[in-house]
Each structure stands twice: as C-alpha cells, then as structure tokens.
Chain A
Amino acid sequence: MRGAVRARWAACALSAALVAAVAGCGGGGGDEAGVVRASWGDPQNQLEPANTNEVQGGKVLSMVFRGLKRYDPRTGAAENMLAEKIDSTDQQTFTVTLKDGWTFSNGEKITSRSFVDAWNYAALVDNKQKNASFFEYIDGYDKVHPDDGSPTAKTLSGLTVKDDRTFTAKLRTKFSTWPDTLGYTAYVPLPRAFFDDHEAWLKKPVGNGPYSIESYNRGSSMRLRKWDGYPGEDKARNEGVELRVYTDNNTAYTDLQAGNLDLVDDIPSAQLKNVRKDLGDRYINQPAGIIQTLAFPMYDGKWAGDGMEKVRRGLSMAINREQITDQIYRRTRTPATDWTSPALGDKGGYKGGLCGDACRYDAAAAKRLIEEGGGLPGGRVTLTSNVDTGSHRVWMDAVCNSVNNALGDDKACTVNPIGTFADFRNQLSNQRLTGPFRSGWQMDYPLIQNFLQPLYYTDASSNYGKFSDTQFDKLVDEANAENSQDKANAKFQEAERILAAQMPAIPLWYQNGSAGYSSRISDVTLNPFSVPVYEQITVG
C-alpha cells in the first residue's frame, strides 16, 4: 500500500518536472520588427558568385548583388541594371557602358574594372569556379581555361577596359542575345576586398545589392540587413531578412504553421494536399524555369537507328502527363508541350504546343507508331533516374504504368532506380545507360537559347544523350547571329520543331515553384527561377 502511494508520487513528480521544463522553453525567440524570417538550405559551395550554381546560394547572391542586367521578377525579361547600354554593331563585339553613382556596400565605387577583374577571376581555371564555362563565349577563354594543362594567360583577351565606365567584350562567335545572359549571377561585379582578403570576404561577402550581410553563421543562419545607401530602384521594402537553414522542409512547414517562420519556399510534397486548407491564398504555385524530360541515349545504336524516331515519339504519346501531374504532383507540375518553359514568357521565346501531337496522350496512336518503328528495342524499355530526391521513383513508376497500359504489355516498361544523384551522374557521363533517363534542366537565364543549345546542340556540355542533327545546329547558329531577339526566337522555335520530329528527349512537365507564407508578411512573389523576391516583401 505504501509502495503504491510512493509510486504515484514519483510518477507525478516526474511528469510535473517534465511539464515545467517543457513549459519553460515555450515562446519564440525575440523577433525584430520588419525582418522577414525565411527558410533556407545550406549552400553547397562557398558564396562566390561564379562558384554558385544552385538555388540556395543563388538566393543570397540575388539579395546581395546586382549585375549589368536584371531579370524582371514578374516577366523574366532582361532589363538594364548597372548597364546604361550594351551596344554592338556586329553581334560579336559588345561595348558596355555603366551607369554612374553605383558603389559596393563598403563604399567602393563600381567601375569597369569591378566587372573585368571579376570575370577574369571567374574564367581562370586555377580559381576552380564552377561557373567558369559561362565565360567560354568571350575571346581568349581557351587560353585561361584550357581543357588540360596550365593556362597560358591570366586574363581574357576579349575584355578591354576603355575607361571607368566603359569596357568592351569581344566574343568568339556571333551571339546576339549575349547581353541578355548577363543577368546571371556569375557576371556580377566584385569589390577589391574580394581579391585582397579572400578569406575574410568569404566569411562575410560584400556586394552591391539591396541587402548587406550582417552576420553569417555557416550551416545555420544568415542575417541580412537592408542597405540604406542602395542606389537602385528596387530598394528593400522590409528592414531585413533572416535566412534559417532547415534540413527538412517538413520542419520548415511546421515552423511556419507554428508562427516561428514567415516564408517557406519549398512546400513538402506530403503537405500538398493540406496546403490550401492550411494557408489559403498564402500559398503560391507558379511556373518556374525548370523542365523535366526523358532523354534517349542516342549514342546507343538501338535507339538511334532509322525509323526509331517513330518509337521515340510513340513512347512520348504513351505517357499520360495530365494524370501524373495531377495525381502525383497535385498540380505543382504542368504537362509540357515543348522543350522550354512558360517562365520564359513570349519575349524569352516560349511558345506552347511546339511538341504538337507527340506530347498528347493517345494510347492507340502510341501503340501504332511504336509498331511501325519496329517496336521497342529488345521488346522493352528501362527508365533510369536517381531516386534520392524529387519523388522521382513515384513518377517513373507512373510513367511505366502508363506506357504498359498503352502498349497492353505489363512487361514493356521497367524502372531502374539509382540510389544517389552522384552515382546517376557517373553512369550518365560514362554513357553506361542504354535506355531513356531523366534529364532535368533549370534555366540560368530566361532565354530559349539556354534551354536548347546546352542540351541538344552537337557535343554541347549537357547533351548527355549525344543527340546530333546538322539542321538543328544550323538553326541555332543562325538564331544566335540574328540581330533582334524576336528573329532569334523564331529560329530557335524552328529548331524546336526538329526536336518534335526527332524526339531525342521526351518533354514530361514544367516544374513549378511553390511557397507559403505567414499572415505577418505580404507582397510575396516568386521570380521565374522560383526564388522569392525578398526585397518586395512587406512586413506587418
């Protein structure tokens, strides 16, 4: 009896202690007025503009830096930022004139040198910048960035400083839309501090954008403060942004619900079915410049032979994109009807429907086409993708089901899941895959050129399937030599029609950006790169 009493007392004491302790840690941290608390992922690389090629690092750079051009957050159109004008008479040598009155947030004046030095640094192979290849169009790139061996020059011969506010860039070939690529973060100017004390700069980067970095705690958080001396039109409309690193977007979403976070720019797929109910119109789901395709290994004779284009087109028609984007992705993907992205807009060269019938689900036609083309090589097809992210396993299964149903053969399509992205990358680069594989592409700048040339031009850098078509190459070259963007777009769209006939890659769906925000903030939008436009957000 005594024991029982004691037991009860002990249990109570224990739970009381726990409850007290738990209650003791309630309540959020001290939140500053006017500061947006946003989710973030740990950037993969150090935050150097020419070394950042992923979204998380890009987010910070988009707040801290401004380049010659800037892509309109709504339309994606390239507009002059630091550039007063970029002129060319021959589409090959460009003269850049800078606006007056721009400085870095440490007070240093921005001159032509700030650009030329930064670009030379980025292109030089010794600096191991991951975006070095963005400078390959400029004359002298092969000297500073040889495929092997040491560089024979330290600077790009194509860049010449004329005076403080003008410099010229001579390109290897004609490239009329080159100025419009200059909004990409790899092309931003760098202050002297970057070269003089590199280590210190990396700990706390200094730029020329609407925000300056107040503190950077690598791996966990970054505090950005509105820079009052910012001369641009797009001044920050809030006091600052606090980026918090989350390992799991589910936790970020939970924190948003609990009121500890204002902005989540990646809604976890498990929450997609609740998100409307949870957030109402504080949920954003809009197209971003990302497309997923299934590319064919054109280096493999059995996929490249004569008549195989019918099989490739047939497979495309056997995929029920509507159903998959609806049921698996809950409309955060849009069925693709071409090889670019609606995020480009008309000006960037998007034209829906270029894929034509080949991208419409039609089981009967699919079966007929595949039979006409001689059937699937070996009677079957295997889809390959990494499955560590992006629910790739799920859509692959769905695509296979769709193909199997269309062909009336439940062994026609199988899935080859690869555990990690790096391993998938390995097998791709070594051309070990013998069936269609996932090929995702996120645009660097909103131009149709960026979706076609790197992926389908003969021997282009990311042409993993080794597709090659002389007519396609010719059209791309002609497009780049055109003197207006409209004419260039028309040529590129003509080139897309060749893709529709040849089908070296099946367009699957355009990927949307999805975000949610708290009622504490408003004016939240995503730009065409699916990055929130932080400087426009208002608090309270």
Chain B
Amino acid sequence: MGRYVIRRLLQMIPVFIGSTFLIFFMVYALGDPIAALFGDKAPDPATAARIRKDLYLDEPLWKQYLHYMGQILTGDFGTAFNGQKVTELMASAFPVTLRLTLVALLFEVVAGIVLGVFSGLRRGRSVDTTVLLLTLIVVSIPTFVSGYVLQFLIGVKWGVVTPAVSPYAPFDELILPGVVLALTSLAYVTRLTRTTIAENSRADYIRTAVAKGLPRHRVVTRHLLRNSLIPVVTFIGTDVGALMGGAIVTERIFNIHGVGYQLYQGILRQNSPTVVGFVTILVIVFLLANLLVDLLYAVLDPRIRYA
C-alpha cells in the first residue's frame, strides 16, 4: 500500500511538468500581454520594454519556463499585472471555490445516490422512468442556461436569494450556485448508481442475503450499495477536479470571486503567472483526487489489493 502511494506520487511529477509546460505555451501563444496593457493606445516602447524585462518576458519561452519553474519550487508564483502576488490571489480564491465545490459535491452525492438507488430498485416503473427523463433533461441543458434561468427565477422574480454572491461568499449564499454547478454531475451520478444497483440487485449474493432473511435496509445498504458504489466513487473522484475547473461558468454567472474568476481574468488579460499558477494547483488537486479514488477502492472492495 505504502509503496503504491509513493509510486503514484512519483508518477505525478512528469504529468505536472508536462501540463504546466503546455499551459505556459498556450498562454504564451495568445499574443503580447504587454501591448494589451496599453488599451487603444500604442505602447510606449521604453515603458513596455521595462515592464517586459521586469516580468521576464524578454527571454525565449524555454528560459521563461525554467525561470518560472524555479520560482514555483521556492513557493513563489510570481506577480499579476495589478501588482498582487499570485499566492495572494490563490489565498483569496481557493477557499471560495473549495466551499462552492463542497456544496456542489454534497448535493451531487446525497441527491444523486438517493435518486439512483430508488430508481434502480424500481427498474422500469414510473419512478424510474421519471428520474431517467429528468436526468436526461438536466444533462442536455448547459450550465449557463440553468444558471441564468434559476438566477432569474429564484433571485429576481421570487426574490428568495440574492442573485449575486457577496465577496466573502459564505456557505448559505453558495447553495444556489452549488446546485447549478452540481446539476449535470448529479444526473450522471444518478444514472450511474441506478444502472449498477439494477445490475447488482439480481446478483447471487443479494439473493442469498434476501434468502437468509436479512432486513431489506440491511440488504440494500450493506450488500447492494457497497458493491455498487465503486464506479460511482470513481466518477465523483474525478469530478472534484472537474467541478473546481468547471466553476468558471458558474462563478461568472453568480459573480463569485473564486478560482474561475481569477482564471477568467488571467486569460482575458493574458496574465501567464495567474493562469499557469492556478491551473498548476488545479492539476495537483485533480491528481490527488484520483489517487484518493484508487485508494478508496480497497476500502469498498477488499478483494482489490495494491502491491
């Protein structure tokens, strides 16, 4: 187990280097960020040259990358154009997005699994068909549509919540954005749970458990659910990263100043330190979530062993 974890952690290094380089390259290819800083006016060459030198932009790309990686190893993520340290931006943005992700994840897990179990146990009946139909609709609506519609209905028309989240972004204000963010994943979790439950409910060990006269809730929670959750856990694990990254749209709609907001600003202003720094952290989150999922397998199914 310990060796497995170490091996997985070591594997992360090349992935990390490769992905940061790709992002670095892509941001670089977008054009000259300094020229854009001057708006409609032509940049004043002397000032532009100074800024470029300060930000290390006058060097070839590979040198910039090495310089940047050297900085990152010492915990310095560089400075955004408005003079703020990127680490400072991260410290303000990540907690907010983390809260949003938690709300979304909680909703996704609880509602998704509950709905999935109930429709899976009633395969082909009206509850099942309704759930399937609803999830189909949810999957087919893009986040920005459901976001704007729910925001308008609940926020403006009925006035139940404030349409925009305040800068501090407390948990209670994040419920509506969290639900919007979770909707698509929720539908997937429901459908995934439903299928595996429906499959496993006809397995031999379930028939045995029922034949032994175990109470129904025990059969469902201890035997059926535990075995059925493996694919669902895989999905949810990878979804953590996707939710954090995918928050760009949701955060924009509800004016949440989290990771998505900073990334959007970074891309708009071609702020490579911001974009690369934030994506780097997202890559790490993604990798760790995947590792956690793999380790959870053994907990759910003791037959799975790691060498």
Give residues in A with beta carbon < 8 Å to B. 2-4, 7, 10, 14, 18, 21-29, 42-46, 53-54, 125-126, 128-130, 132-133, 145-148, 202, 217-221, 244-248, 250-252, 254-255, 257-261, 388, 419-426, 429, 439-442, 454, 461-462, 464
Contact = CB atoms under 8 A, between A and B. Distances in A.
B50 A251 contact: no
B42 A247 contact: no
A251 B175 CA distance: 17
B46 A260 contact: no
Contacts of A420: 30-31, 36, 270
A202 B84 CA distance: 11
Given A44-B81, A461-B44, A251 B163 contact: yes
A132 B173 contact: no
Interface in B90-110: 92, 110
Given A14-B110, A129-B47, A254-B152, A25 B164 contact: no
B2 interface: no
A25 B111 CA distance: 21
A45 B114 CA distance: 49
Interface residues of B, number: 68
B31 A423 contact: yes
Contacts of A440: 40
B139 interface: no
Contacts of A439: 40
A303 B121 CA distance: 74
Interface in B1-49: 30-33, 35-47, 49
B204 interface: no
A163 B111 CA distance: 75
Top 10 nearest A-B pairs (CB, nearest first) are A423-B31, A422-B31, A25-B172, A220-B167, A422-B36, A425-B35, A46-B83, A426-B31, A254-B163, A462-B42
A462 B41 contact: yes
B257 A3 contact: no
B31 A22 contact: no
B253 interface: yes
Given A388-B268, A423-B30, A441 B162 contact: no
Nearest to B217: A6
Interface of B: 30-33, 35-47, 49-51, 54, 81-84, 89, 92, 110-111, 114, 118, 121-122, 127, 148, 151-152, 154-156, 159-164, 166-167, 170, 172-173, 175-176, 179, 216, 251-255, 257, 261-262, 264-265, 268-270
Given A202-B83, A218-B84, A220-B257, A130 B40 contact: no
A24 B35 contact: no
A288 to B, nearest CB: 13
Nearest to B151: A254
Given A29-B166, A44-B82, A424-B31, A132 B111 contact: no
B163 A255 contact: yes
A443 B92 CA distance: 35
Contacts of A248: 252-253, 255
Contacts of A220: 167, 257
Given A133-B44, A420-B36, 12 more contacts: A22-B176, A54-B39, A125-B50, A219-B89, A220-B257, A245-B255, A248-B253, A252-B164, A260-B163, A422-B32, A429-B32, A462-B40
Nearest to A46: B83
A494 to B, nearest CB: 25
Given A10-B114, A247-B255, A254-B155, A425 B31 contact: yes
A44 B122 CA distance: 56
Contacts of B164: 246, 251-252, 254-255, 260-261
A130 B265 CA distance: 20
Contacts of A454: 41
A500 to B, nearest CB: 22
A116 B84 CA distance: 28
Contacts of B252: 247-248, 251
A26 B161 contact: yes
A217 B41 contact: no
A20 to B, nearest CB: 10
A258 B156 contact: yes
9 contacts: A2-B216, A26-B160, A45-B37, A219-B84, A248-B253, A248-B255, A250-B253, A251-B252, A440-B40
B155 A25 contact: no
A2 B38 CA distance: 69
A21 B167 contact: no
A257 B38 contact: no
B111 A14 contact: yes
Contacts of A28: 162
B30 A422 contact: yes
B46 A53 contact: no
B44 A44 contact: no
Contacts of A251: 151, 163-164, 252-255
A4 B51 CA distance: 68
B64 to A, nearest CB: 16
Contacts of B47: 125, 128-130, 132-133, 145
